[in-house]
Amino acid sequence: MPSIFTILGSILLAVLLFCLFNQLRSRRSVPGRRLPPGPRPWPIIGNLPQLGPAPHQTIAALARKHGPLMHLRFGLVDVVAAASASVAAQFLKAHDTNFLSRPPSSAAKHVGYNYHDLVLAPYGPRWRLMRKIASVHLLSGKALEDFRYVRQEEAAVLIRGLANAGPTAINLAQLLHLCTTNTLGRAMLGYRVFGDGSGKSDPRADEFKSMVVEALAVAGVFNIGDFVPALEWLDLQGVVARMKKVHKRFDAFLTRIIEEHKANAGNGKHTDMLTTLLSVKEDADGHEGGKLTETEIKALLLNIFIAGTDTSSSTVEWAIAELIRHPKILAQVQEELDRVVGRDRLVSELDLPQLTYLKALVKETFRLHPSTPLSLPRIAAENCDINGYHIPKGTTLLVNVWAIARDPAEWTDPLLFRPERFLPGGEKAEVDVRGNDFEVIPFGSGRRMCVGMRLGLRTVQLLTASLVHAFNFGLANGLVPEKLNMDEAYGLTLQRASPLMVHPWPRLSEHVYEAKI
């Protein structure tokens, strides 16, 4: 344990650094080049104490007072928050090339294999290589089509498991996470990671979900040590210890997967994505030629298993919760599904283009419950000016996706769940979620937007359609829909504060649920 004198010395050093930082910053200031407005920071730790347990909500409330382009101070670091579509477009479109990199963070160091992953790594040649490999080999249009049958089969497994669940209330979050994990597992590794294919819950899958949720929770913490380096070693919030612990668990999981894959590589039967990763030899961008390292492969797998499972399953869970609360909307979705698909088979991905209302429902879910409420931070490579305000080099950028999607200047009755706003004739009929319309950007925008956007969108649409088509849902313990808890649990992704517990009631022909997969 550090002595009291060591702790006091560290705090004194932090105070001196803070004063020095302020002095240097005031010397750098140029008349007429002012920072955006914002709340007054505290000494040393700045505005960090104001963030509270739900930073996306707190920053949104501060933006209503100080404006949609707001300056904050996190320790010694300048931070700007964008809370409107027009301001986000300035950063992510007009100045995208200046905000391509990530700031240094304990999450990138201790969870993301010391900056070797795709999501948290700084911009540079190795990031471009990994992005290209992911885009071309893992998440391309061809790859999505090649593994369409996997997504459909695992959706059918989920439906069959729910149909055979019995009278006990089902934790929908667990089964959705099992489904998305096995879907990715079969595409990435060639086999189901958990379960026996019956769709029933698996304790190992539940443990894996807890690992994913923990990783997302610790990665979403604003760690004091990231913003006041003199205090980093103290780990005042205990977050670094948690990061190291969850990383160790994930590393053991990923190492075992790779070693087993190598041991079975000689049988020539693998057509999965990990085989492709292990076979990649050259850097297609011509930078830093050579092979992907095993660490980079594990880091990519980590990104895919975390970002590709919980974001999709949580979004579907939010969608079902909203439909339970809005029975008229549920009836409209089911009417469309019955008309397009019928009641004698399950939904296919080939049906999705004809499901106009279903797609509007998914857009509205992404709007009101974005999987990443605060965008992953970016850092300014050079000084720039946004809307007449000076943004210094090294400033961290946060785009408040949650606040933008609830901005009354952009949306009529923004707190209401209303898919019709995205239908022809609706207020946002032409708005999409693919990063070009800044009113709703659940996958981000620009060069650092989510590389798995197309996969995530297909997965959410298919699973939502499958569940709504196959079942009506009642709530556990006789809870009425009006009393359903819709509180959020903040992390790097937006979880429900309490899992959705449901009773599924089949509504299709009986033989649909008996079909073998």
Provide the annotated binding site: 450
The CA distance from 188 to 182, in Å, is: 10
Contact status, residue 399 vs residue 373, Cβ threshold 8 Å = no
Instruction: Give whole-number Cα distances, 322 to 205, 318, 325, 380, 482, in Å.
Output: 26, 6, 5, 38, 10
Contact status, residue 317 vs residue 172, Cβ threshold 8 Å = yes
Q: Per the annotation, where are the binding residues for heme?
A: 450
Which single residue is written with the structure tokens 């492709």? 276
Angle between helices 294-307 and 125-133 (to 10 degrees): 60
Residue 405, classed as helix, strand or coil, is coil
The CA distance from 361 to 368, in Å, is: 11
Q: With 0-12 CB in 10 A as exposed, 13-18 as middle and 19+ as buried, what is 259?
A: exposed
Contact status, residue 300 vs residue 118, Cβ threshold 8 Å = yes
Residue 128, classed as helix, strand or coil, is helix
The CA distance from 117 to 254, in Å, is: 14
The CA distance from 413 to 407, in Å, is: 9
Contact status, residue 454 vs residue 141, Cβ threshold 8 Å = yes
Rg (CA), the chain: 24
Angle between helices 239-263 and 203-219 (to 10 degrees): 130
Which of 57, 501, 108, 492 is CA-nearest to residue 311?
A: 492
Which of 291, 312, 215, 225 is CA-nearest to residue 254?
A: 215
What the block records as the tokens of 404 is 């933008």
Contacts 24+ apart (CB under 8 A), 347-355: 347/155, 347/462, 347/465, 347/466, 347/469, 348/152, 349/148, 349/151, 349/152, 349/458, 349/462, 351/465, 352/458, 352/461, 352/462, 352/465, 355/461, 355/465
Residues 6+ apart with CB under 8 A from 10: 230, 231, 233, 234
Contact status, residue 400 vs residue 84, Cβ threshold 8 Å = no
